[in-house]
Structure 1
Amino acid sequence: MSDLKLLYQDDYLVAVHKPSGLLVHRSWLDKAETQFAMQMTRDRVGKHVFPVHRLDRPTSGILLFALDSLTARQLSLAFAQHQVSKEYLAVVRGWTPSAHYIDYPLKEELDPIADRFCDPDKPAQPAQTWLQTLAKVELPFAVSPRHPSSRYSLVRLRPHTGRKHQLRRHLAHLSHPIVGDTTHGDGRHNKFFREQFDSHRLLLLHHSLTFHHPHLQVPLQIRTELDAELQTVLTHMGLF
């Protein structure tokens, strides 16, 4: 696992590039883990940091922290009120449409321990994602016994809501699961990428984050580059 890369810092907030596989903070889900993005960022900048949004463990890319509790509350509210524009890049199975608006409500995914007091009958919540296809490729490998070759797409995703695992679940709903998704994806294609490209991760990158700075009162866009592993996979696939 690579170290955190510092993307942006001022007197109020800091943004880093989180590698795939790194937890944001300590969790009972993996009590044996010793490295966390929150503590690593704190050590990097020399002061306490406050998380303001989620980034799943297998997802890489931009992770934003506040440097004080007031800024944390302001940014958390901006995320909750959909005032932050997020953009992701993903490799998915199949050839996706050139552009598509996914409007598919999602029931909350409950953990049997952490969410044991939550209502399992809570109705599905609205969830919307904008998809744009950036590139397509057909590889001469019969991953599925029904097809002599295998098709993949590189897509840009802009979630308009922030439901748990929204992008992974929306792409699975379209029958275009994200490669490397062990929960909602296709095991045959995940296995193919491990064996053919030595790729053992979810091919999902939080690429761009745009919001209004709560103190400087200016628009701020933070962007990151492709992970080295993701770039290597795309190059071998002919998508980069």
Structure 2
Amino acid sequence: MNELSILFEDGEALVIDKPAGLPLDRPRAGGISLDDRLDELRLGFQRRPAPVHRLDRDTSGCLLLARNPKALKRFAAAFEARKVIKIYLGVVAGPVEGDKGTISLSLSKISSEKNGWRMIPARQGKAAVTHWRVLARKDGLTLVEFRPETGRTHQIRVHAASGLGHALLGDPVYGKAVAGTRTMLHAAQLVIPREGKDTIEAEAPLPADFVALGFTIEP
């Protein structure tokens, strides 16, 4: 079992580089989840840290954990108030028109016994706004930086598919599954302001599967 990489650490917070494929909660079919690994992230503290926000199982990168209930409440409020800067990188499975823009598509959850649940653009749904810009184009794929203002479930995945015209590479729900490829989304940066304390800033390196597609990020 690989050691979890810690990107930021102090007395009330940890930011880890969550590996792709590691779910936050125990899967119904069984298997390891982040919850099984929280004890190793105590790092001398009495309490296990708790995730403040969520990343999909396939999504890699910056995940904030709080070391005590008061910090958890403050951080959750910062996310709710949209004070947190979140920057994601995604490989879009096709050419993207233009170099930058903003997608504003409200989202609603639907479900069926046959297909399970998913999010769809819906006028009566919850407001969802994502700013984006193209970083690179290669072999018909597009590396896009996403800056979501809101934090709706599957927001970037739906906005890529419905707002940019192509889903994220490997997305089995909003695009097309690709053998041996996860949904190519990475939480690259996280910035959380704190009153009376230094701002939390964390950056997760570009994953190997992004690099294998020929994408790099200039320092």
Band of TM-score, shorter chain? 0.7 to 0.9
Contact 1:20 1:202 in 2 (8 A): no
Query: Which one has a larger percent helix, Structure 1 or Structure 2?
Result: 1
Q: Considering only CA atoms, is the larger Rg found in Structure 1 or Structure 2? A: 1
Moved over 6 A (4+): none
Q: Percent same amino acid at aligned positions?
A: 30
Query: Which one has a larger percent strand, Structure 1 or Structure 2?
Result: 2
Question: Residue 110 and residue 223 in structure 1: after superposition, are their counterparts in 2 closer, same or farther (change >3 A)?
Answer: farther
Question: Residue 76 and residue 181 in structure 1: after superposition, are their counterparts in 2 closer, same or farther (change >3 A)?
Answer: same
CA displacement, residues 135-172 of structure 1 (integer Å, 9 cap, x when unaligned): 1123xxxxxxxxxxxx1100100000011100000011
CA displacement, residues 110-129 of structure 1 (integer Å, 9 cap, x when unaligned): 587xxx9xxxx993111100
Contact 2:128 2:149 in 1 (8 A): yes
1:109, distance to aligned residue in structure 2 (A): 4.7
Q: Secondary structure at the match of 2:22?
A: coil
Aligned to 2:157: 168
1:181 aligns with 2:164: no
Question: Residue 111 and residue 41 in structure 1: after superposition, are their counterparts in 2 closer, same or farther (change >3 A)?
Answer: farther
1:224 aligns with 2:213: no
Give the letter aligned to residue 227 of structure 1.
Answer: P
Aligned to 2:136: 135
Match of 2:189 among 208, 217, 225: 208
1:72, distance to aligned residue in structure 2 (A): 0.2
Question: Residue 48 and residue 170 in structure 1: after superposition, are their counterparts in 2 closer, same or farther (change >3 A)?
Answer: same
Give the aligned length: 205
1:42, distance to aligned residue in structure 2 (A): 2.9
Match of 1:32 among 22, 29, 32: 29
Aligned to 1:58: 58
Aligned to 1:146: none
Contact 1:100 1:130 in 2 (8 A): yes
Contact 2:189 2:201 in 1 (8 A): yes
Aligned to 2:17: 17
Q: Secondary structure at the match of 1:108?
A: strand
Q: Secondary structure at the match of 2:30?
A: coil
Aligned to 2:75: 75
Q: Measure, in 1, the Cα distance between the counterparts of 2:112 and 2:80.
A: 22
Q: Secondary structure at the match of 2:72?
A: helix
Q: Measure, in 1, the Cα distance between the counterparts of 2:110 and 2:71.
A: 29
Contact 1:102 1:170 in 2 (8 A): yes
Q: Measure, in 1, the Cα distance between the counterparts of 2:181 and 2:202.
A: 27
Q: Measure, in 1, the Cα distance between the counterparts of 2:207 and 2:49.
A: 24
Query: RMSD between aligned alpha carbons?
Result: 2.4
Q: Secondary structure at the match of 1:132?
A: strand
Give the letter aligned to residue 172 of structure 1.
Answer: A
Question: Residue 153 and residue 2 in structure 1: after superposition, are their counterparts in 2 closer, same or farther (change >3 A)?
Answer: farther
Contact 1:105 1:125 in 2 (8 A): yes
Gap regions ≥5 residues in structure 2: none
